[in-house]
Each structure stands twice: as C-alpha cells, then as structure tokens.
Structure 1
C-alpha cells in the first residue's frame, strides 16, 4: 500500500492550514495587552497563509472526496489541532466532557463517510 497523493495530500494540507488558522484565531489570548486592531491585523496576516494551504487542499481533495467529506475532514482536523493547541499553548486541561463531545463529532464523521443508510 503506497502513498496515495490524491487521497493523502489534501489531508496533509488541511492539517497545515489548520495549524495556521488556529494560531491566527487564538494566539492573542495570551496577550491581552496588545491592541485589538493590531491583533486583527496580525491574525489576518497569519490567516493569509492558511488560505494558501486550504484552497489547494480542497481543490485536490475534490478529485477523491465529496464536498461533505472534505468539510468533515476539515472539522475533525480543526478540533484535533485546537485541542492540542489549547493544551500545549494555552495551558488548558481537556476534560471528559471534551472527550465525549469529540467522540460525538467522530461518530458524525463516521456517518458522513459511511454513505447513505439503507
């Protein structure tokens, strides 16, 4: 089983894009002394790079995934990246409530990829 570029490249690009986007949206929570206008401009600059990864991810991914599947992949990655960011950067603790909520989201992703129920 080799590396399948059309299947895996979009996932890698979405992971990278979500790293940028999560940082763009939440980095400033540790820096309340920075003016809001500056935070918005800095975050906008960081998000610029997210678009350079997300758009190609979706374009390439549309060759092998439906739009619903791509969005589901993106949401699962987004929550996974955010959970790591919250723990490692913001110093937050994940609780059982988080695990249960993420589990339900994972269950939803399962049904998206399972296809129409018969």
Structure 2
C-alpha cells in the first residue's frame, strides 16, 4: 500500500482480513435455515479473501513487528471487530462481562509491546 508506513500497513490489512474472517466464521448464524454444506462452502470462499490479506499483512508486518506482536495485534483487532459484529450484525448485546473480559485480554497485549517488567 503506497504511502502508508510499514507499521500501519499490516494493521490495516489485518483489520480488513478480520472483517472477512468474522463473516466467514459467524455470518452464517443469521441464516440458520440454510443447509450446513452451503454455509461451509460460502465460508471457505470468504476465508480465501481473508487469507489474501492476512498473509501479506504478516509478511509486511514482520519487517517491523515481532511475530508475537503481530499475533497480539491480530487478536486485539479480532476482539474489536467481533464485538462490533455481534452488536450490529447479529443484534446480540455486549454485556459488562464481555467488556471486562476483552479488557483483560487487551491489557495483556500491553506486556507484549512493553518488554520485561
């Protein structure tokens, strides 16, 4: 992605790839009457595009971030995307327990990026 910094490009690619993967993994829950074999095939098709973004994100990102940092970025993005997806697409409530649990995971990400104590 021309014009974007090496640090930002993988984050943006991971963000978009996670949107695809969230739909691949959970989007079918809104269509429970559709045959399982159909939702599996559709999910595989969606996941293909996720891989087309995630693999380059990690390849580009590894020049700037450690592998552990890339995985942490991906997990934090996954939580944010999933929370939004649950509320806006699946119409499920986000409870205080969800927020606290996600917060603890995000708090753990702090230690990945801030060296030894």
TM-score bin, normalised by smaller chain: over 0.9
Moved over 6 A (4+): none
Identify unmatched segments of 5+ residues in structure 1. Answer: none
- Whole-angstrom CA distance in 1 between matches of 2:60 and 2:71: 13
Q: How does 1:3-14 map to 2 (within 5 A)?
A: 5-14=5-14
How much has 1:37 moved relative to structure 2? Answer: 0.6
Identify unmatched segments of 5+ residues in structure 2. Answer: none
Alpha-carbon displacement from aligned partner over 1:63-116 (angstroms, at most 9, x marks no partner): 010000000000000010000000000001111101110110111000110112
Q: Are 1:38 and 2:38 matched, yes or no? A: yes
- Whole-angstrom CA distance in 2 between matches of 1:4 and 1:14: 14
TM-score after normalising by structure 1: 0.95
Q: Which residue of 1 aligns with 2:78?
A: 78
Alpha-carbon displacement from aligned partner over 1:9-65 (angstroms, at most 9, x marks no partner): 000000000000000011110111111111100000000000000000000000010
Q: How many residues align?
A: 115
TM-score after normalising by structure 2: 0.95
RMSD across aligned positions (CA): 1.0
